[in-house]
Amino acid sequence: MAPNRSPRKPRTQRTEEPDPQLLAHIQSLGLATVDDYLAWCARHGFGRRAQKHWRLREGERAFARRATADARLARKKQEQRNPAKIVDRIFRGELREADVTELHWKAVCQACQSKRESRATLRAFQSLLKHARTYSDLISSRPAIGHIGRQVGNTFVAGLLALARHWQSWIRPIHDWRPQSHNCRRQFSSLARHLLAEWPLPAFMDSVWFLGSTAEATRRQAWFLHVGRGRNIRTADLPLPFTKRMAHHFLQAPADLTVDGALRWGQIQGLGGSERLARAIIATRIGNSFEHDDFWLTVLRFFVANAMLDLAHVGPIVDYIHNQRFVAQDVFVAPGVIERRGAAQPNFTIKGRTAASLLRQVDSWHRTLAQATQSATDWPPSGIAGFEFVEGTERSGNRRIWTITELLSSKALVAEGREMKHCVASYARSCARRIYSIWTMEAKSFEGRSKVLTIAVQNQSRTIWHARGKCNALPAEKHLGILRRWAEQAELSVGTYL
């Protein structure tokens, strides 16, 4: 009799996990699994085994990069060869954002896939794109307003979409328009007036079409229609009251201003201020903001009345008044204990003050900021890339190194303010809360290192908000050029007024 034997347990097959280097290689090729990788190798004539020498894998990665570049180049040529066909395919839903290479076509795809755009708007947008592409150079992704730089809405494609949203207000057919200039700004200006205006409009009004899709942008576009139909700007939905004189000067504002800057221009000139004073005010925090305008109107009247005041003081005075009346204060009530309190002077008024007394208060405030080392605070980097640019050559002896670096502590802001003689230390709390980041531009040469500009960047919008030299001097054209290089490299927008 055979002895009882316990039944054998079935053998479990070992499944070997692919090694991490192989997985990383597969992901670098844009593939997901080992089977996908083996199939890819078979299609393209590579060895059909998973484990390979690193040189073979490097060759496969190089092949994949070339194939991706070739496919992108083929798509780009197709987009340039027949743009009308690309427009039709996008609006039929055959092409998505990932299927196109040019930024302006990606923007068109985003608009078509957006749920906020009506069918009528998209039909008008399609007509604008096809007609504009046939007769103009407006289908591009370069900034429409150059000195603003790359920011949401500041492209001609975005401007065409903004015009399409007002299709119900068009007074002439799009097909009757032909450009009379090769300049894109003039082409867009002509198109906007053809569609929406019966009366001449100043050039700065074009800026309303490059502000994005916010409610405030729509409000300003309504001003374009209002004035374009021959109505007085005073009867539009303005954020501040306008006199007849202000309305007259508003229409005479320079072409390089935005419509908000033109409102300030008209207001200041209407109060009797000079063009230089208007420029100085527009360059401050209230240049394009109309919050608390009843109060700020009294400050503007003060500047107009003190015509001999050096305009270099306008910015510091505005910063001081804003800080005293509207900014909450952090006060040390015990060692290491900070208490948030209200503004230092919530009832601050300009009435009864002289220019001399106000300048003394501003100077005292600056000294207080410079001495505020007891509340020293550090904060982490903003994540925005710094900058280094070398110009000139050693042979010619004019080599210079430009750098832009972030300041990461209140002590650094105090030191910057002392050397540059301005109030950048007032930004410490905003930097700690990650609202702003402060940067310093320096130039290094054989003679040594010198500070050139202090720069404030609004972190969320990645916009260069302010840039000032010593004693709040405006940037020279050379320094603006360096600033724009940094903005292009770090993907920042440049504010309308620095």
pLDDT tens-place string over residues 140-183:
777 777 766 666 778 898 999 999 999 999 999 999 999 988 88
% of the chain beyond a pLDDT of 70: 88
483 residue type, one letter: L
445 residue type, one letter: S
**pLDDT level of residue 335 (50, 70, 90 thresholds):** low
Q: What is the pLDDT of residue 245?
A: 97
Tell me what the mean pLDDT of segment 276-300 comes to. 92
Number of helices followed by number of strands (H, E) in the chain: 18, 8
List C-alpha distances in Å: 113 to 158, 246, 325, 391: 15, 43, 45, 45
* Pair of tokens at residue 462: 């990645």
**pLDDT level of residue 8 (50, 70, 90 thresholds):** low
Q: What is the pLDDT of residue 134?
A: 82
pLDDT tens-place string over residues 119-132:
999 999 999 998 98
pLDDT tens-place string over residues 376-434:
688 999 999 999 999 887 677 778 899 999 999 988 988 898 888 877 877 887 888 88
CA distance 475 to 470: 10
Tell me what the mean pLDDT of segment 462-477 comes to. 84
Assign 58 to helix, strand or coil.
helix
CA distance 438 to 412: 10
**Confidence check: pLDDT of 184 > 70:** yes
C-alpha dihedral, 155 to 157 to 161 to 166, nearest 10°: 80
pLDDT tens-place string over residues 291-326:
999 999 999 999 999 988 888 889 889 999 999 999
**Confidence check: pLDDT of 450 > 60:** yes
Q: What is the pLDDT of residue 21?
A: 84
In contact, 239 and 260? CB cutoff 8 Å: no
Helices (H), 136-274: 156-165, 184-196, 215-228, 244-251, 259-270
**Assessment of whether the complete model's pTM goes beyond 0.85:** no
CA distance 196 to 192: 6
**pLDDT level of residue 373 (50, 70, 90 thresholds):** very low
